[in-house]
Each structure stands twice: as C-alpha cells, then as structure tokens.
Amino acid sequence: MPNPNSVSEHYTHGALLDAIKVGVERLGKTTETVSVKDLGPVEEFHIGGRVATESFLERLELAASDHVLDVGCGLGGASRFVADRYGARVTGIDLTKEYIETGNTLTSWVGLKDLVELQEGDASKTLFSAASFDKAFLMHVGMNIADKAAVAAELSRVLRKDGILGIYDVMSVGSEDLSFPVPWATSAEESAVSSADEYKKVFGAVGFEVVTERNRRDFALEFFDQLRASTAASGGPPPLGLHILMGETAPLKVSNMIANISANKVAPVELIFRQAS
C-alpha cells in the first residue's frame, strides 16, 4: 500500500516549473499575462480536467464567505479556480513539495496570493484548528491514501458542523485487478483504490452523511475520446497538458486508465457529504 514518501516520489517531476514556463511561452503568453483558464490543462490532474472541476464544485454550494480546504491539492489548480470563480479563501495541502512550491508560484502569476495558500503536509494529521473550514474537497486523491479512516477523522475535526465535503475519486466498481501503470500509481503496491461503499462506511463512521452520489464513467469515456481526437487533430499534445506531469509514460498511463474504465473495473465517482450538526 502507498505511504507518504512513495506518493511524493511518484509525483515529483524535478523540473516542473521550468516545463510549465516553456508551455506558457508556446501559448504566446508570459508569466505576467497567463490566466487561470490558460493553466487549467496542466494543473487539473484528474479525469475531465476543468470541466469536471466546474461540475463537481458546483455541488459544494461555495460562497465568497467560505474558507475551503483543498485536500491533495497538487499544483493548486482547483484552489485557484475556486478563488477566481467564487471569491472564496482556499488553503491547499499536499505531500509533494515540488507541487506546492510550483503551485504557489503559479498562484503569484495569476494574482491570487491573497486568497490561495498551498502548504506541504499530510491530510491525516494537519495543524489546522478545529472547525476552521466551511467546505472541503478531494479530487483524485483517495487512490493514494491507504488509511482513509485517519483522513476522514481529521476532516471531521477541521470542518465545521454542517460543513460540506466533496470527494471526486477513481473508485473500484469491479473485482478484477487493474492494469498498471496508471496516473496515480506505477504498480498495484502503490495504489489504494476503494469502492464508493467503503468511502461511505469510513466517512459515515465519523459523522458525515451522504447528500449525493454520481458515477461519472460515461463522462470519463467521452472525455478520453475527445482528448484522443484533439491530440490527433493537432498532431500532438497541447503546450500545457497533463503529459507534462506524467512524463514519458503518459500515453501508457492514459491507455491503461481508459482500459480499466472501459472494462468497468473502476470509475470516477463523486460523493457529496454533509457533516452532522
């Protein structure tokens, strides 16, 4: 099962900020003119990208008065989207140091430092005060968390009563073994995929009540079809895209991801919880 060190090592690029700068230049932009929208293709590391983010976060009833926790924030793409779209204050936390350092630089580029702060840390044992957040969300994070019960307990502690928690993760829907590598893991030993029922059991045990559940399998397959078509039409990947994060193994990881979803072994699933008051 994955541990914090192995997870951080899996995602570490080594020269990520430089690679993103090259992509920005290929877009014809500079670090002064690039926008939240421009950065979306490289900083939304989950199935469906920015489209999935918009649809998912709409369900959290976000408002400008909210303090929001982005768990496993990666480069902070969703954090910046929330700040830009809703005017809310967002704190992101992630295990990967390079993601946090790069993400905070991207936040400066788009002028959102007053609303967005990304921190290196473990979501199962944070230093946040009790009941310090109004909303919280995870996007394609749980597949790297072996001890989901510890994270559930910590989120219950830091989220205010009646607060909303959203989870958008790849979840198991079948019993067959997955094909690896995939975007979140090189091998089965690095993966911690669970079913929606397991999520509901773990989070329900600490006081979270299910509001809605949505299987996004059909959306995911359509997204990958469109991605393949656009890549073929343009003769290769775009200047900014997830291939920058996944490196040379990106085509194989994406191919295996599509195969696993097509075979109905896994699917991206949304769960919206409300903390009991």
Name, in order, each residue with C-beta under 8 angstroms of 43's C-beta and a sequence gap of 6 or more: 74, 75, 76, 77, 80, 103, 106
Which CATH architecture is the domain 4-275 placed in?
Answer: 3-Layer(aba) Sandwich (3.40)
Question: Could you tell me the two tokens for 205?
Answer: 């045990």
Q: At 262, give phi and psi (nearest 5°).
A: -60, -35
Task: Say what percent of the chain tops pLDDT 90.
Answer: 83
What is the tens place of the pLDDT at every residue in 212-245? 999 999 999 999 998 888 888 877 788 888 888 8
Residue in the structure block whose two tokens are 């779209």:
85
Per-residue pLDDT tens digits for 115-156: 999 999 999 999 999 999 999 999 999 999 999 999 999 999
What are residue 136's DSSP bridge partners? 69, 165
CA-nearest of 4, 132, 161 to 72 is 4
The bridge status of strand 266-275 relative to strand 159-172 is antiparallel
pLDDT at 8: 72
Q: Comparing C-alpha atoms, which of 78, 16, 67, 14 is closest to residue 43?
A: 78
Which of 168, 170, 164 lies closest to 211 in space, CA to CA? 164
Q: Bridge partners of 62?
A: none
Which pair of tokens denotes residue 172?
């198991």
For the chain, the domains span: 4-275
Query: How confident is residue 12, by pLDDT bands cut at 50, 70 and 90?
Result: confident
Residue 223 is predicted with a pLDDT of 92
| Reduced DSSP (H G I as helix, E B as strand, rest coil) percent helix, strand, coil of the chain, to 5 | 45, 20, 35
Region 93-100 average pLDDT: 96
Confidence category of residue 1, pLDDT binned at 50, 70, 90: low
The answer to whether 170 and 184 are in contact (CB under 8 A) is: yes
